[in-house]
Each structure stands twice: as C-alpha cells, then as structure tokens.
C-alpha cells in the first residue's frame, strides 16, 4: 500500500510511504511491517528513514548515499583542491577548506606556524558561527515555527529572519 503524505515539517513535499506486510503464516502475530520514507529534505546529500516494526521493536535507519566527492579533485593540482572542496557544502565550507589544507600539508610534510594555526582556528570559529546561524534560522526555524521555508519565515517574522541573517554575516 502506498500513501502520499503532505507534511509541513518536511518542507511540504509529498512523501511516499511504503507499508509492506510480511506474513510468515496465517497468524497476525507473525506479521511485520516496514515503513520507508525515501527522501528527506534539509539534509546533506540524500537521506531516508526506514522503520522496521517487529512486534514491539522499532528499528530506525537513516542512510546517506555515496556522493564520491573525492573524484572532484582527481587530476587537479594540489593548489586547486582547497578552492574546490570548500564548495562541497555551503553550510561548512571553511571546515572543508581547512581540512584540505591540512591534508596537503601532511602529504608534503609541511609544519605550519603557531600564528597560522591560530588564524585558522579563528576562521573556523567564524565559520561555525555562520553555519550555526544558517542552520538555526534558515533550516530549523521554519520547522519550529510551522512555516514551509525561510522565505515564508521572513514574511511572517521579518525581525527574526533579519536577526538570523545578521548572525550569519557576523560569522
């Protein structure tokens, strides 16, 4: 049986819930049910939830498919890699860039100065402020406040949306 479900908490997309009944025999207690939601929005990559209900047991599995980001840098100059990998994720681009720099330095045996390490730490903290502001106000707040998107949030609560953008900019 397939059900189309509209859920505001999941960005008003229609989700197909597959409810599958398995019978080992004719008795109802032998029946198990599985609920699958194949696409969840507002997560990095592709995610879904599988709930397998066996008697009184519920198993939840959230999965993410392989995205093969490492192939983006195959054949590229090491100098290009930090600029490429920082575009993998708009929410944590600084973390990806710093990690790429650290991997390159490790590969070449480069020891960075304390000043460079502290500067990177400061930049990383700014990136965390930006990403947390983005996550809280653009991704989570619409769900908490019962609206479908940050655009609707800005129309309904302009002061709150403005505060979120200021926090993001601060980072």
Any binding-site annotation on 70? yes
Among candidate residues 39, 64, 89, the one where a domain is terminated:
64
Backbone angles phi, psi at 131, to 5 degrees: -70, -35
Among candidate residues 25, 40, 64, the one where a domain is terminated:
64
Q: Which two tokens stand for residue 122?
A: 């400061």
Provide the pLDDT for residue 46: 62
Q: Which two tokens stand for residue 161?
A: 């949306």
Q: Which helix (H) or strand (E) segment is 160 a member of?
A: helix 158-170
Any binding-site annotation on 92? yes
Among candidate residues 43, 64, 85, the one where a domain is terminated:
64
Looking at the structure, do residues 79 and 50 belong to the same domain, yes or no? no
Distance, in Å, from the CA atom of 32 to the CA atom of 22, rounded to the nearest integer, reads: 6
Looking at the structure, do residues 83 and 107 belong to the same domain, yes or no? yes
Looking at the structure, do residues 108 and 139 belong to the same domain, yes or no? yes
pLDDT tops 80 at residue 54: no
Strand order in the sheet with 14-22: 2-6, 14-22, 32-37, 47-54, 57-64
Distance, in Å, from the CA atom of 151 to the CA atom of 30, rounded to the nearest integer, reads: 48
Distance, in Å, from the CA atom of 10 to the CA atom of 22, rounded to the nearest integer, reads: 28
Looking at the structure, do residues 34 and 57 belong to the same domain, yes or no? yes
pTM: 0.64
Average pLDDT over residues 38-67: 66
């Amino acid at each position: 049986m397939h059900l189309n479900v509209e859920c505001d908490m999941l960005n008003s997309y229609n989700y197909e819930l597959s409810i599958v009944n398995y019978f080992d025999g004719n008795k109802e207690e032998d029946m198990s049910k599985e609920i699958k939601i194949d696409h969840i929005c507002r997560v990095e990559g592709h995610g879904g939830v599988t709930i397998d209900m066996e008697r009184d047991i519920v198993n939840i599995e959230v999965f993410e498919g392989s995205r093969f980001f490492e192939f983006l840098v195959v054949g590229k100059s090491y100098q290009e890699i930090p600029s490429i990998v920082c575009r993998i994720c708009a929410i944590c681009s600084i973390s990806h860039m710093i990690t790429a720099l650290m991997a390159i330095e490790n590969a070449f045996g480069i020891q960075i100065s304390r000043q460079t390490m502290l500067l990177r730490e400061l930049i990383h903290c700014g990136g965390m402020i930006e990403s947390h502001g983005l996550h809280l106000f653009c991704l989570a707040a619409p769900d908490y406040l019962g609206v479908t998107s940050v655009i609707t949030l800005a129309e309904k609560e302009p002061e709150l949306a403005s505060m979120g953008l200021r926090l993001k900019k601060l980072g």
